[in-house]
Amino acid sequence: MKSTRNPKKTKATAVAQTSKENCCSASSVWSWTIYVYWFIILFFIAATFYILGRSHEFLHPSTQNVIITEEALIQPQDYVNSAKEKLHSGNIDDAIADLDTAIDGNATSVAYALRGEAYMQIGNYTKALEDFDAAIEKDSMNAIAFYDRALLNTRLENYDAALNDINNALAAQSMKPSESLSMRDLYAKRGQLNLWLKNWRGAVADYTNSLARAEGTVSADVYAERAEAYTALGDYENAVNDYTTAVRVISEQIQAAPNQDEREKQSSNAMSYFEKSAALNFKMGNNDAARSDLESAFALAVALDDNDSADRIQKLLGNLE
């Protein structure tokens, strides 16, 4: 019996089967290759995140194990504020210690100025001057630093340098005002320096500017010192008026003096102003006014138990008879 199978069809079927097997084999190989590639890609992504995470931890270490002390939380300004309180209470050494810490922490020029004030109080003028210089170098508009250095130069009798510092303090205060400093005080200090430098007219102008200011407290010393400048200029009438006003200011303020020593000091100043006024009145031929001034001075000398002054004034009264 002859076979009815078609040779061509059988051959085609075999080719198709072989092709199908080859296709499945290629597909299987391609799938495994893709898995390998993805595995490699995922591995590198994971490795990248791990490295980035470690680098972040290195650059920004965890604070879980860091112990934060109370000292670490204190800022330079806190030490400055503490130093101010200690300076006011007279605790100079501890104030300097606080300011040392503040300055080490990169504090502002205020810290240098305060430490300069502390050093000036204990007589260490060399370190005080260094600190005032540093304060001004850090802030050229620090009026307090200029004023403090002027006070230091005055103590050192460097009056020209002190006058230059006061001029700078006035300029700085007008541009960058400080609440702890007044234009009244600055003009009064410049008036005093001009008085010592014998710039009489400059002194009168500065004292007048000081008295015209609204801020601050009027000082009897300003009137008395302007009277000295008027006296040097031969303006005795204005000098007498200023001595009279100085005594009036003392009479108004003496009850507010903090202690008995200060009251006695002010009374002694008033006695001196009466004597000076008497001398000027005598020069102008106002003998009655001179006698009245001397009698007031004598009463104060007796009240102060100042026997030497009382004897001297009594002799002057006798010369007027």
**DSSP symbols for 187-222:** HHHHHHHHHHTT-HHHHHHHHHHHHH-SSS---HHH
Q: What's the rounded Cα separation, in Å, for the pair 303 and 243? A: 20
Does residue 193 contact residue 159 with C-beta atoms inside 8 Å? yes
Taking residues 128-150, what's their average pLDDT? 96
Is residue 216 left, alpha or beta, with left meaning phi > 0 and alpha meaning psi from -120 to 50? left
Q: What is the pLDDT of residues 190-200, one digit of tens each?
A: 999 999 999 99
Q: Which helix (H) or strand (E) holds 62?
A: none
pLDDT band at 64 (very low <50, low <70, confident <90, very high): very low
pLDDT band at 78 (very low <50, low <70, confident <90, very high): confident
Does residue 215 contact residue 231 with C-beta atoms inside 8 Å? no
* Average per-residue pLDDT for the chain: 83
pLDDT band at 82 (very low <50, low <70, confident <90, very high): confident
pLDDT for 182: 93
pLDDT band at 52 (very low <50, low <70, confident <90, very high): very low
Q: What's the rounded Cα separation, in Å, for the pair 296 and 275? A: 9
Residues 6+ apart with CB under 8 A from 138: 108, 109, 112
pLDDT for 9: 47
Taking residues 47-63, what's their average pLDDT? 48
Q: From residue 48, how far is each of 44, 53, 254 by CA, in Å?
A: 6, 9, 82
pLDDT band at 43 (very low <50, low <70, confident <90, very high): low
pLDDT for 302: 96
User: Strand, coil or helix: what is 321?
Assistant: coil
Residue 154 CA from chain centroid, whole number: 20
**Calculated CA dihedral for residues 131, 134, 140, 143, nearest 10 degrees:** -10
What Rg, from alpha-carbon coordinates, does the chain have?
45
Residue 310 has pLDDT above 80, yes or no: yes
Of 61, 123, 110, the C-alpha closest to 84 is: 110
Q: What's the rounded Cα separation, in Å, for the pair 251 and 266? A: 9
Residue 245 has pLDDT above 70, yes or no: yes
Does residue 270 contact residue 250 with C-beta atoms inside 8 Å? yes
Q: From residue 134, how far is each of 83, 95, 139, 141 by CA, in Å?
A: 18, 18, 9, 13
Structure tokens at 319: 């010369």
Q: What's the rounded Cα separation, in Å, for the pair 104 and 109? A: 12
State the maximum Cα–Cα separation within the chain, in Å, rounded to a whole number. 184
Of 231, 144, 135, 137, the C-alpha closest to 182 is: 144
If you ran DSSP here, which 8-state letter would residue 23 be given?
Answer: H
For the chain, what's the residue count? Answer: 321
What domains can be seen in the chain, in order of their start residue? 73-181 (1.25.40.10), 216-321 (1.25.40.10)
pLDDT for 300: 96
Q: What is the pLDDT of residues 164-176, one digit of tens each?
A: 999 999 999 999 9
Of 174, 114, 117, the C-alpha closest to 141 is: 174
pLDDT for 101: 87
Residue 143 has pLDDT above 90, yes or no: yes
Q: How many CB atoms lie within 10 A of CB 248?
A: 13
Residue 23 has pLDDT above 70, yes or no: no
% of the chain at pLDDT higher than 90: 61
